[in-house]
Amino acid sequence: MKRGLAILSLLTLAACGADGEPVKPTASSTITMSSSGVSVGTAVGLRRGPFSLALGVGG
């Protein structure tokens, strides 16, 4: 949990635009229903040029 919060903090800092224009973060979530139950997944990411960084939970 602490590691996830640390990574999310770094992503937020990177998105603030300290080194140029602000980078708008992306977010997505999925809900999957199957015969074994329901699962939920969420991801937050950043994209700048050819580079992409994402952090996901669940699935």
Question: How far, in whole angstroms, is CA 2 from its chain's centroid?
Answer: 16
- With bands split at pLDDT 50, 70 and 90, how would you rate the model's confidence at 59? low
| Residue at token pair 């139950």 | 37
> How much is the CA Rg of the chain, to the nearest whole Å?
14
Three-state DSSP class for 34?
A: strand
List, for residues 30-48, the tens digit of each pLDDT value: 999 999 899 999 999 988 8
Structural domain boundaries of the chain?
A: 2-58
Q: Is 43 exposed, middle or buried (0-12, 13-18, 19+ CB in 10 A)?
A: middle
Long-range contacts of 13-21 (CB under 8 A, 24+ apart): 14/46, 14/53, 15/46
Output the average pLDDT for the chain: 82
